[in-house]
């Protein structure tokens, strides 16, 4: 086998090992850990805003950390409906997004 195939294989295995150990690389840990989530986003009138309507089909919000940038995006697009309230009912997490302030962090 030519040497460059061996190099590619070694790099490949190294990437997989680093991904497994550090969790910093995507590697092949697809859907290894998914949180049960129940997200709600409501506007100033208490009317719900459907988070999934701002995401492509197949985009899974597997954690609060994944959801917050999406909420920030929705907030910026819906300033006329601010302040918005984002919550996750299983963990009890809540965050208020006042007018002009869409910086959503854990």
Partner 1 sequence: MQSFDLTSTKAERWFYGFLSAALVSCVVEDVICGIWKIHTGQYFPWRHVPIVPLYPAPVLLIEWGFLFLSAWMIALGKNRRLGSLIGAVTLLVSLTQRYSNHRSLIVIVLIYLAVSSAKHLRFAYQMIRYQLILVYLFSALAKIDAGFLSGETLSAIGHNVRGAMLPDSWVRAILMSSASRPLAWLTVVAELGMPILLLKAPMVGFGLVLLLHCSFSLMMPAIWPFTFVMIAMAALFLRDFQAVE
Contacting residues toward partner 1, per CB under 8 A: 1-2, 4-5, 8-9, 12-13, 16, 19-20, 26-38, 52, 54-62, 69-70, 73-74
Residue 17 or 46: the one with the smaller Cβ distance to partner 1 is 17
Residue 29 or 98: the one with the smaller Cβ distance to partner 1 is 29
Residue 38 or 103: the one with the smaller Cβ distance to partner 1 is 38
10 φ, ψ (degrees, to nearest 5): -65, -45
Interior/surface letters 5-34, b for 16+ CB within 10 angstroms, e for the rest: eeeeeeeeeeeeeeeeeeeeeebeeeeeee
């Amino acid at each position: 086998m030519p040497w460059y195939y061996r190099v590619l294989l070694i790099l490949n295995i190294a990437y997989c090992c680093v991904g497994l150990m550090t969790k910093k690389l995507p590697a092949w840990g697809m859907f290894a850990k998914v949180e049960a989530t129940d997200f709600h986003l409501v506007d100033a009138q208490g009317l719900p805003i459907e988070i999934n309507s701002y995401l492509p089909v197949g985009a899974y919000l597997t954690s609060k950390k994944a959801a917050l940038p999406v909420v920030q995006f929705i907030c910026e697009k819906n300033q006329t409906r601010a302040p918005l309230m984002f919550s996750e009912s299983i963990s009890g997490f809540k965050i208020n997004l006042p007018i002009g302030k869409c910086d959503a962090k854990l």
